[in-house]
Every structure is written in C-alpha cells, then in structure tokens.
C-alpha cells in the first residue's frame, strides 16, 4: 500500500514518512503544493495526508484539482488548530477526514487505515481470506492462527491483494502500489514476491489469472 505525504514542515514530514514506513507503507513526500499536485496527478496512491497550508499551491486548491480530474484517492487533511473554517472547506472540497495540529501519530495511522479500509469496502481492521488473516492495525499476518513472517514488500503485496480480494490485480497495478516514487520498479520482482507468499501461505492461496494478473478469493 502506498501513501503520499504532502507537508511543508520538513521535520513533521520526515516523522510522518518514518511512522508510515514502519507501519508497512511505501511513502512519497511533497514539500509544496506544486509537487503534491504533480504526484497526485501522475502516481497511484492508496491514501494521501494533505496539509492545507502548503506553499506555492495551497492544499485546498490541490484537492480541488484532484477531484476535478476524477482522482478519488482517500484524503486526510491537516489543519492548524482552531481553523474550523478550513476543516469545513476541506470536507466540502472532497476531503475524507481531517485532523488538527498538533496530533498523535497513532491517530493519523488509525485514520489512514480506516480510510483505506473503507475505500476498498472493508469494515473491520482484520482482513481474512480463508486461513489467512491480516491485521492492518499491527501489520501482522497469521496462517491458521500462527504468525507468518513477511518482508516489507511481501507484506505490501499481500495487503494490497487482500484489500482488493475477489478482483484481478495486474502486475503493473501491484508495482505502482508497493514502491515509492524513487524506487527501482522492476515489475518482474512482483513475481518473486508472489512466489514467496505462495510458499509461506499455500500454493493455491494467490491465483494467477493468465494474461491479466493475480487474485485472492474470499474463501482462498
């Protein structure tokens, strides 16, 4: 799963990126609205953390441009404490949730998890497909109740497929959602991650749909 952090305060941006990275996300950062708008228009994200007080182009304008372009990515907006009018404008402008600064990092992570979950049609924090369970709160995976150790990329692949279960996901789509912008995106490595997951979770757990991609079924 991949997240864009659009925040001009460098220290906070680094803190958000570090926390999201530790939680298993691929993270891109934008320090101004111009960069945020470009990334949002050209890259594929599962969620965005968007500060409304961005330089060059303000966050509300960036959000409006995305929505006008039909980009429906879930957006969590950040506002200055007490700026209730910004919160209202943000929600009316297409934001899915908001938080006031300062905030606790744990709450940001919880709200992002909820946004991503709802966007893919899930109502509980535990994603379950047959004997495999993925807890999005702890980033832990179990098979028949026993813990399964995954690398960060294996976890991202599994998480994306389980969030979008019963749907065929192409290799290109997976590549877009498991790597950050500056990463070396070799789509062939997706096949390696899939093979490793099959060894750990069962050979038939992830189905290959020839010529189209991969799918995890609800009863896999």
Domain regions of the chain by residue span: 2-119, 126-215
Which of 216, 182, 149, 129 lies closest to 2 in space, CA to CA?
182
* Torsion angle in degrees (nearest 10) through CA of 128, 139, 158, 18: 150
| CATH entry, 126-215, from 1.10.10.10, 3.10.180.10, 3.60.20.30, 3.40.50.720 | 1.10.10.10
Q: Quick: pLDDT tens for 93-106.
A: 899 999 988 999 99
CATH topology of domain 2-119: Rossmann fold (3.40.50)
Select the more confidently predicted residue: 88 or 220: 88
2-119 and 126-215: identical CATH topology: no
User: Which residues are CB-contacts of 22 (< 8 A; sequence separation ≥ 6)?
Assistant: none
Q: Quick: pLDDT tens for 3-44.
A: 999 999 999 999 999 999 999 999 999 999 999 999 999 999
What pLDDT is stored for residue 87 in this prediction?
A: 75
Q: pTM of the entire structure?
A: 0.87
Question: What's the sign of the alpha-carbon dihedral 154, 13, 95, 35?
Answer: negative
């Amino acid at each position: 799963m991949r997240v864009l952090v659009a925040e001009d305060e460098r220290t906070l941006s680094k803190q958000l990126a570090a926390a999201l990275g530790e939680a298993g996300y691929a993270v891109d950062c934008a320090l101004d609205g111009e960069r945020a708008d470009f990334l949002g228009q050209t890259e594929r994200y599962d969620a965005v953390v968007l500060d409304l007080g961005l330089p060059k182009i303000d966050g509300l304008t960036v959000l409006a441009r995305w929505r006008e372009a039909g980009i429906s990515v879930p957006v969590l907006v950040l506002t200055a404490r007490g700026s209730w009018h910004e919160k209202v404008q943000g929600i009316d402008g297409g934001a899915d949730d908001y938080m006031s600064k300062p905030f606790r990092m744990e709450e940001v992570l919880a709200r992002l998890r909820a946004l991503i979950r709802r966007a893919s049609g899930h109502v509980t924090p535990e994603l379950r497909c047959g004997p495999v369970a993925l807890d999005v709160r702890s980033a832990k995976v179990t098979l028949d109740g026993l813990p399964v150790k995954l690398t960060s990329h294996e976890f991202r692949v599994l998480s994306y497929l389980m969030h979008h279960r019963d749907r065929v996901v192409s290799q290109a789509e997976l590549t877009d959602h498991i790597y950050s912008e500056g990463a070396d995106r070799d789509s062939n490595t997706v096949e390696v991650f899939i093979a490793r997951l099959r060894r750990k979770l069962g050979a038939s757990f992830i189905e290959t749909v020839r010529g189209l991609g991969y799918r995890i079924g609800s009863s896999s």
